[in-house]
Amino acid sequence: MLLTGAAGFIGTRIRARLADAGHDVVAVDAMLPAAHGQDAQLPADVTRVDVRDAAAVAGVLEGVDVVCHQAAVVGAGVNAADAPSYASHNDLGTAVLLAEMFAAGCRRLVLASSMVVYGQGRFVCPEHGDVEPQPRRREDLDAGVFDHRCPVGGERVDWALVGEDAALRPRSLYAASKVAQEHFALAWSESTGGSVVALRYHNVYGPGMPRDTPYSGVAAIFRSALEAGDVPRVFEDGGQMRDFVHVDDIAAANVAAVEAGPDGFDAFNVCSGRPVSILDVATELCDARGDVAPVVTGQYRSGDVRHIVADPAKAERVLGFRAVIDPADGLTEFATAPLRGV
């Protein structure tokens, strides 16, 4: 099998888990400086391949029966100038890979997608049921009113688990590129009869995560602050609900997807199934280090998602995957785990 992005934070753990499960892995990575740093060395057992290079991709697909595609530019994006990078690396790269898979007779793909495809998650009004709340108003945010309101009666709405059948509503450049990757893969599956498993990762964390960059997830940002002798600064009131899933569970989900290989195109949430607030994440990290406490700033960023929490049931039912690492345990480990320099 072929594993793209094999030298990255997630790809490294997937490769080890696949090898442990007895799979013969061809490992490739473009070694982008944003992910690996300017001076990172290509591991001896990884081949440098940019998935946008059709000839290079064709050269590593001989005899491959399944591709596990992790290579991507990640993060929400800093501003609109990042759009060409996402479209090129994530979407053009996936399109080239799919074309070369077709030419090589490879008809099975496991695709790294993301929970960001859902946009702002699912909300339920106690009076009107499932609703699609309007964007939060600046005057409410300035007044410290962070929760969404029902668009019908103005009641405060509660978060609910997001299932895979939810509408795809990308709200960032990265999210748009992930939706496009899924759509390319769906069209490829329909036209070739190939199998695609799209794994929608929720907030991934764990040892070897890249240090603080403009594209880091919040767990890495908090962890980097602590490493620098600072304190985690929590936006809003810290009540934002998320699902944090350990990188080793991500690796296990990929092995399950490779070995299950359902027909056609299907998408699955990959999450811990144990929702946690952003303030709880910061507190767990601080408590594990034992010296500081997080600061709740009340600041906000326009366009931030208030709550998004996934339903893990389908992955367990169809793929036989269930996360085993409780975020409370994983975050305690992560508080002092080594990070990857970039």
pLDDT tens-digit map of 143-168: 999 999 999 999 999 999 999 999 99
- Structure confidence at residue 214 as a pLDDT band (50, 70, 90): low
**What is the distance between the alpha carbons of residues 77 and 306, in angstroms, rounded to a whole number?**
18
Angular region, 25: left φ>0, alpha ψ -120 to 50, beta rest: beta
Looking at the fold, whether 151 and 62 belong to one and the same domain comes out as no
Say which residue, 34 or 329, is predicted with more confidence. Answer: 329
CATH number at residue 290: 3.40.50.720
Q: For residue 297, what pLDDT is reported?
A: 96
Instruction: Tell me if 134 sits within 8 A of 151, measured CB to CB.
Output: yes
Q: Which residue has the higher pLDDT, 198 or 38?
A: 198
As for how many domains the chain has, the answer is 2
Instruction: Assess if residue 341 is contained within a domain.
Output: no
Domain-located, residue 168: yes
Are 293 and 240 contained in the same domain? yes
Cα angle 263, 267, 273 (rounded to 5 degrees) comes to 130
CA distance 196 to 200: 13
Can you tell me the distance from the alpha carbon of 104 to that of 61, in angstroms, rounded to the nearest whole number?
A: 7
Q: Is 330 exposed, middle or buried (0-12, 13-18, 19+ CB in 10 A)?
A: buried
Domain check: are 144 and 117 in the same one?
Answer: no
Residue 321 confidence (pLDDT) = 98
State which residues form the domain around 293. 2-121+162-335
Percent of the chain residues topping a pLDDT of 90? 82
Identify whether residues 140 and 218 lie together within a single domain: no
Q: How confident is the model at residue 211 (pLDDT cuts 50, 70, 90)?
A: confident
Q: Are residues 131 and 253 in the same domain?
A: no
Same domain flag for 34 and 117: yes
Q: For residue 146, is it within any domain?
A: yes
Residue from 17, 207, 185, 192 nearest 91 by CA: 185
Residue 61 lies in a domain: yes
Domain boundary, last residue among 98, 133, 161: 161
326 with 279, same domain: the answer is yes
Domain check: are 303 and 258 in the same one?
yes
Helix ranges (DSSP H) in 65-203: 83-86, 93-104, 138-142, 173-192
3-class DSSP state of 194: coil
d(CA 73, CA 69): 12
Q: pTM score, two decimals?
A: 0.95
In a domain, 342, yes or no: no
Flag whether 340 is in a domain: no
* pLDDT tens string 74-127: 875 557 888 999 999 999 999 999 999 999 999 999 999 999 999 989 999 999
Is 326 inside any structural domain? Answer: yes
Give the end of a domain, one of 161, 192, 222.
161
Over the chain, what is the mean pLDDT? 93
Same domain, 24 and 107: yes
d(CA 273, CA 97): 32
pLDDT at 215: 54
Q: Tell whether 101 and 222 lie within a shared domain.
A: yes
What percentage of the chain reaches a pLDDT higher than 70? 97
Residue 319 has pLDDT above 80, yes or no: yes
**Same domain for 84 and 145?**
no
Domain final residue pick, 145, 161, 177: 161
Which pLDDT value is given to residue 76?
A: 59
List all residues 6 or more positions away from 273 whose beta carbon is below 8 Å from its beta carbon: 243, 310, 312, 322, 323
pLDDT level of residue 216 (50, 70, 90 thresholds):
low
- Residue 204 falls inside a structural domain: yes
Strand partners, 28: 47
Whether 309 and 175 share a structural domain: yes
Residue 295: what residue type? V
CA 246-252-253 angle, to 5 degrees, is: 90
